[in-house]
Structure 1
Amino acid sequence: MTEHPHSPQVDDSGMTPIKPVEAELLVVTGMSGAGRSTAANALEDHGWYVIENLPPQMLGTLAELVSRMPAALPKLAVVVDVRGKALFADIRESLNALSAAGVSYRVLFLDASDETLVRRFEQGRRPHPLQKDGRILDGIAAERVLLAEMKSQAEMVLDTSGLNVHELASAVTELFSETGPVVLSLTVMSFGFKYGLPVDANYVADVRFIPNPHWIPALRPLTGQDAAVSEFVLNDNGAAEFVDRYVHALEPVLAGYRRENKHYATIAVGCTGGKHRSVAVAIELAKRLGQLPRVTTSIRHRDLGRE
């Protein structure tokens, strides 16, 4: 009898079921200049087979190959961009065809602010692929229109505005480790309100209600990473209660993110300068949130070190 390639298998004893190998198909897309190549390199470093600049019309053929040989390409990432504008217009139809064929896939969308994208193109002395005879901003605007539907339906949207290439590679690594995707990778970021709000924050907490260590001469030169400052901040009346209640308030939010297949989020904690209170509270929040099931946390201090 010929065995169907997806029928259940058993081990050598003939008794224990073995789960058939299932291939992962990840579609990586997003704004030009947002870091697709960096993300692709990070995926390759973690065992993914990456195909860059694949015309969307070939997704169906590729998926058929993968479904026939799942063990050969268990983790496949396809990077799709808008350089072939006419081809990209058919990507939704191509993805629908994957679903109709029973091929499971996810979409990682990389984004960045217009200001960041302009700066990156100017630094690289490259034109935007859609700007034609216009400005870089004209190309960015045209690309946002073309990608709007993809972004709205992507399972994972990663804003790279505040990330350098190493930080972006780390973010992708946290999302896709050796054992598969991290269910929810949470960045807890400290910042100073006087330097502006983080553009990529999902939630912002204001901890300026806590007395400022800046006015304590012995604490002023220290930061929230120092034990003396951390104890001063967290032992204040109201600070511990705030942390407890904020973690409790975020629990249903994070559970909802997991249900909606959102794998990456940023919680920002702000004080005046981003040196003392926000740093201490962010560290404590990251510690507490990291204890929740299926959540990993990392800490970023955006304004630590500024004068």
Structure 2
Amino acid sequence: MVDEEQRDRGEVLIVTGMSGAGRTTAANALEDLDWYVVDNLPPQMLKPLLELTGRAGGALPRVAVVVDVRGRDLFAHLPEVTRALRDARQQLRVMFLDASDDVLVRRFEAVRRPHPLQDDGTILDGIRRERERLAVVRESADVIIDTSAFNIHQLATAVVDLFAEEDSARHTVTIMSFGFKYGLPPDADLVADMRFLPNPFWSEDLRPLTGEDDAVREYVLAQPGALEFADAYAAALLPVLAGYQRENKRHSVVAVGCTGGKHRSVVMARELAARLEGTPGVAVRVKHRDLGRE
């Protein structure tokens, strides 16, 4: 049970492990989850950093610190620093990323960079030296992830599974209305075309209104195929959004277009958003790109 004093100090995660095992990918995934991430911090700086973030008044409730052998001799102090922080009742976890020697060798060869402890030896010599230095840290780690069989997307997903806040959205989808005459949204992942429906623009009563007005909404949804499209397209998006979560794709844009982006696309964007609200792990936003254009 975490008391109020511990909670006020915030949560701290130390990210460490073997070079080439995916620390950068893990740090990026944590940053996407709104953790405050500090890379390559000497262990002795952990306590001063946490004191500074503690003065932020809860503005930085979750801090992740990447600590590794790039710190050379300073890295040897990590075990004693983590013990001191735990003794001070700091909410602290250590995540250790590992991979098999042969996988690490292949990764270093792929990027054509030497191992930080390689010196005049081989990549494997550097890996073995690093394992010796990290043995004590690995034994005391709270979370160990073997990334040997992971690609970067799978590792990011594993980190999200472990550290995302309960009930937090793993994917944000923006339903964006737009007008084809102004061009396709360059950031669209999927595009739907509403020009198969009659255009309210040709009604003198509806022309000055927009898809946010009830009269236009009722007109558009009364057209043959409108409601069927909304139901079917929303249903088709559900496995896509579930797949995006599995692949750790954090954001997507579903663009819904009509001629000017003022009537049909606005109505349908709102309808799709309403049908997707409540999708597990998904936050839904609505944006009307061209609604204010003449």
TM-score (norm 1): 0.50
In the TM superposition, residue 304 of structure 1 has moved relative to its aligned partner by 1.3
Q: Secondary structure at the match of 1:252?
A: helix
Alignment-derived partner of residue 47 in structure 1 = 61
Contact 2:154 2:247 in 1 (8 A): no
Measured against aligned partners, the alpha-carbon deviations of 1:227-274 in whole angstroms (never above 9, x if no partner) come to: 111111122110100011111111111111122222222111111111
- Aligned mate of 1:229, from 212, 216, 226: 216
Alignment-derived partner of residue 196 in structure 1 = 183
Going from structure 1 to structure 2, the CA distance change for 1:180 and 1:252 (only over 3 Å counts) comes to closer
More helix per residue: 1 or 2?
Answer: 2
Matching of residues 27-176 of structure 1 within 5 Å: 27-28=27-28, 45=59, 47-49=61-63, 57=70, 72=90, 155=156
Unmatched segments (≥5 aa) in structure 2: 3-10, 16-25, 38-57, 95-110, 117-126, 146-150, 158-162
Contact 1:191 1:274 in 2 (8 A): yes
Distance 2:114 2:270 in 1: 42
Measured against aligned partners, the alpha-carbon deviations of 1:80-133 in whole angstroms (never above 9, x if no partner) come to: xxxxxxxx997999xx99xx95556xxxxxxxxxxxxxxxxxxxxxxxxxxxxx
Alignment-derived partner of residue 287 in structure 1 = 274
Contact 1:23 1:75 in 2 (8 A): yes
Q: How many residues align?
A: 201
Matching of residues 7-46 of structure 1 within 5 Å: 23=13, 27-28=27-28, 45=59
Distance 1:103 1:180 in 2: 24
Structure ID, larger Rg: 2
Q: Secondary structure at the match of 2:227?
A: helix
Distance 2:271 2:114 in 1: 43
Alignment-derived partner of residue 235 in structure 2 = 248
Contact 2:200 2:219 in 1 (8 A): yes
Q: Secondary structure at the match of 1:189?
A: strand
Distance 1:92 1:276 in 2: 59
Measured against aligned partners, the alpha-carbon deviations of 1:171-215 in whole angstroms (never above 9, x if no partner) come to: xxxxx9965742222111111111111121111111111111111
Distance 1:251 1:237 in 2: 24
Alignment-derived partner of residue 263 in structure 2 = 276
Measured against aligned partners, the alpha-carbon deviations of 1:44-74 in whole angstroms (never above 9, x if no partner) come to: 946343779x99946x96xx67976587466
RMSD in angstroms over aligned alpha carbons? 4.9
Unmatched segments (≥5 aa) in structure 1: 1-9, 12-20, 30-35, 77-87, 105-148, 157-175
Contact 1:49 1:75 in 2 (8 A): no
TM-score (norm 2): 0.52
